[in-house]
Amino acid sequence: MWNAILGVQWKRSRIAALLAALLAFSIPFLSIQLLRVGPEGGRAAFMVAAMQSMGVAYALVAAGTGLAYGMLAWSADRRTRHVYALSLPVTRTRYAGMRFGAGALFLLIPALALLVSCAIAIAIIQMPAGLHAYPFSLTLRFLLASAVAYAIFFAAASITPRTAGIILGILAALVVVSFALSALSIRANPLVAVLDVLFGPAGPLSVFTGRWMLIDA
């Protein structure tokens, strides 16, 4: 059954996988293209700045990959109103686990594309003394970020409309309370506190923050 789910998952997400791989492959090359217009002096600093400016592209592609994979993971079941899944002699937990695992496995495709691209880019450019390349840690981070984004959207797509309503209600309440507190000149802001937790060191979105550097000092 694992092979069948894997096959269905590949059919559903192969376009997204290839697109994500293409985008991930292109970012390191775009980074080194920026270096062509660098100044005569201060080349090392310019190279680091160029890498830093492209950091957001890695985060966006990782998030986009997770979003596409997460939404596509359930598309086959949604089209058939879960009839196929209900007809299988397995528990919902096992079935959803296999769906989750199959989608996660395909996250390796854009990550591998990024690793290959980083290796080629490093081989092409002449690196100034004092700078170091970090293709493996960048790829690992990309993989982790896309995995977290995938897990978030996979979980969001699997919840019932009632649960989705509750979550949206809580979010709306947070926005309303924050607005009301701000209007009353009260410093406490629950929305900021929630964002701090989400993006804090142990938060689910912390992997998206900070510097994404292929080359650094």
Partner 1 sequence: MRKLTQRLRGAATLSLLAAGVSVPTQAQDTLRLARSLDSVHMLQMATAAALTALDGTHVRMERLYPDTVLMLDGKLRLLSGATLAPLTRAATALADPMIRTRAGGAASRITGMTLAVWEDSALRAANALGVSSQLGAASGDERVILRDAAALADEIEQRLQHQIGATGHPVFMSWLSNALPRAPAADAEWRAIRLGLVSSPATVARRCHDGSLAACRETLGLTVSSDPARAWFDSAGRRAVVSDLKGRIDAQVPARCLAGSDSACIALIDGNPLFAGSRHPPGSFGARLALVQVAFELGETGSLERLASSADTPSAAIVAIAGMPLDTVVARWQRRAHDGGISSQNSTSVVALSAIGWFLALGTLATRSSRWR
Residues that bind partner 1 (CB under 8 A): 39-46, 48, 82, 85-86, 92-94, 96-97, 100, 104, 128-132, 134, 137-138, 140-141, 144-145, 147-148, 150-152, 154-155, 158-160, 163, 187, 201-204, 206-207, 210-213, 216-217
Residue (8 or 151) nearer to partner 1, CB: 151
32, HSE (Cβ side, Cα atoms, 13 Å): 18
Q: Measured from the CB of residue 185, what is the shortest distance to partner 1 in angstroms?
A: 9
Q: Measured from the CB of residue 177, what is the shortest distance to partner 1 in angstroms?
A: 19
Q: Measured from the CB of residue 152, what is the shortest distance to partner 1 in angstroms?
A: 6
CA distances (Å), origin 65, targets 59, 89, 158, 203: 10, 31, 18, 20
Residue (16 or 146) nearer to partner 1, CB: 146
Q: Which of 38, 52, 26, 57 is closest to 128 using CA atoms?
A: 38
Q: Measured from the CB of residue 176, what is the shortest distance to partner 1 in angstroms?
A: 23
Cα angle 10, 103, 59 (rounded to 5 degrees) comes to 115
Residue (75 or 206) nearer to partner 1, CB: 206
CA distance 99 to 110: 19
Residue (124 or 217) nearer to partner 1, CB: 217
Q: Which of 113, 132, 124, 93 is closest to 24 using CA atoms?
A: 113
